[in-house]
Amino acid sequence: MGVGFMFIFSATFTASFIEVIVFKDFNRHGIDGKTGFYALSLTYGCLGLANWFAPAVVNKLGCRISLFLSAIPYIAILFSLVNPYLWSLFTLTVLVGAGGGVLWTANGEVIAKNSPGDTKAKNTGIFWSWYCTSMLLGNFFLYFYLGNSEKISDAQRHVIYLVLGVFCAIGMCCFLLLAPSGTPQVEDKEESSYGVVTEPQSVLQPIINAAKFCKTWQMGFLYAPIIFAGVSENFWTSVFTTVIGNVYPDRSYMALGGMCTGIGEISAGFIWGRLTSNIGRHGVIMCSTVINCCLYYLAFISFPFDAATTTASIAADNPIIPSNIYLTMAMGVMLGLGDGGFCVSIYAALSTIFEENPAPAFGVYNFVKCTTSAVAFLYCGHLLLPFQLGILAVTCLVGCVCFITLERYPSQVLLVNAEDSRLWRI
């Protein structure tokens, strides 16, 4: 499964990194650079909604078939981008968002069902290692293929998306190699972990369960850092590489920026995971906040203010200090480290505070994060870079304060009774 996700998201991450610049260079059929931001906004919005209904789909079809079918829209949109049209782009974007919810729900199901005893952490780590390499593989191909190109030509676009589509197809075929034992058996009645026979839940039951967690004070403190995680995901998945494409003439530098961000994200899992036991989750959040704020300051002084919104081939504004590719690559690593620190800490907090019944809490987390990213993609094609950096800095600082405030309370678990716990089944 890890290899399958590696190939699928090698294609997906690479496509999202360059989408705005590709559409800007294409500039036909009513498609321009801002179209890329709108498409990504629609994807994340649909992904947030799909999280609520995906468990019922996986429960009905089983993990292996769900993984296989949910990857089809990813392949379809990549091949459609060989010669994009507005109608095909936005139609397939909706399907990608819906498929993404099923894909990640089935992923959690497979890990849970194939991790007996205390092997869940080990198997999750194995999967995550494969998954994180996806940010390197596709960008590695893109860097050497684009070379010193100053514009992505039609011929180059054809090759890029055909190769990425093949990557995605290989990943989808890997899911067929999963053991059938990962498929859940749907019966009229099921026995819960408490030994109580329960009726199968309705499609709306996950939403009902999650609504109970939305109103807890613990989740209230976590909303701010989750919102920052959503805004940050908008920045590293598209805005940062778009800025690079608008500042430097070589299109291959976008791939280099994506690889550096990937290195930062991969390193974050190792560094922050080890430091959490020494400095605590609040310490990790504070370190990540310092890294993020330094990054935003460096971006403010070294990038033109119109670097994210210009319609010209190169941004026209003069930065405070000259743009430097080596400094930009260092900012890419910092971006991955800062974002990873928040994500690691939020995941750890959710797993600890909602230990008795974490699934609804993670459902709320995914919905809030994806919805925030969708909103951020709507404005990032219009706001000048300093305003976007200001939003990132403010949400980062507020998120840090709220997280530390939550951590100052005595360690506790939000207890959920057996009846509530058996309602949510993934």
CA separation, residue 63 to residues 113, 149, 183 (Å) = 10, 42, 5
Domains of the chain listed by start with CATH number: 1-178 (1.20.1250.20), 204-426 (1.20.1250.20)
Which residues are bridge partners to 198 per DSSP? 190
CA-closest candidate to residue 74, choices 45, 51, 101: 101
* DSSP helix/strand/coil, 369: helix
Give me the pLDDT at residue 398, please. 96
Average pLDDT, the chain: 84
**Helices marked H in 114-146 — which ranges?**
120-132, 134-146
Give me the pLDDT at residue 331, please. 96
If one counts every other C-beta atom within 10 angstroms of the C-beta of residue 47, the result is 25
N-to-C CA span, the chain? 18
CA–CA dist 253, 256 (Å, integer): 5
Q: Which two tokens stand for residue 133?
A: 């390499």
The sign one gets for the Cα dihedral 293, 294, 297, 298 is negative
* Phi/psi of residue 183, nearest 5 degrees: -85, 125
Give me the pLDDT at residue 170, please. 95
What angle do helix axes 325-353 and 240-247 make, rounded to 10 degrees?
A: 180
Which stretches in the chain have pLDDT values below 70? 118, 120-121, 125, 181-207, 209-210, 355-359, 410-426
Pair 58, 106: CB distance under 8 Å: yes
What count of Cα atoms within 13 Å lies in the side-chain half-sphere of residue 140? 9
Length reported for the chain: 426
CA–CA dist 319, 145 (Å, integer): 29
Amino acid symbol at 253:
Y
Query: What would the pLDDT profile of 131-164 be if each residue is shown by its tens digit?
Result: 888 888 889 999 999 888 888 999 999 999 999 9
Secondary structure tally for the chain: helices H, strands E: 16, 2
Query: What would the pLDDT profile of 240-280 be if each residue is shown by its tens digit?
Result: 999 999 999 888 999 999 999 999 988 887 788 778 778 88
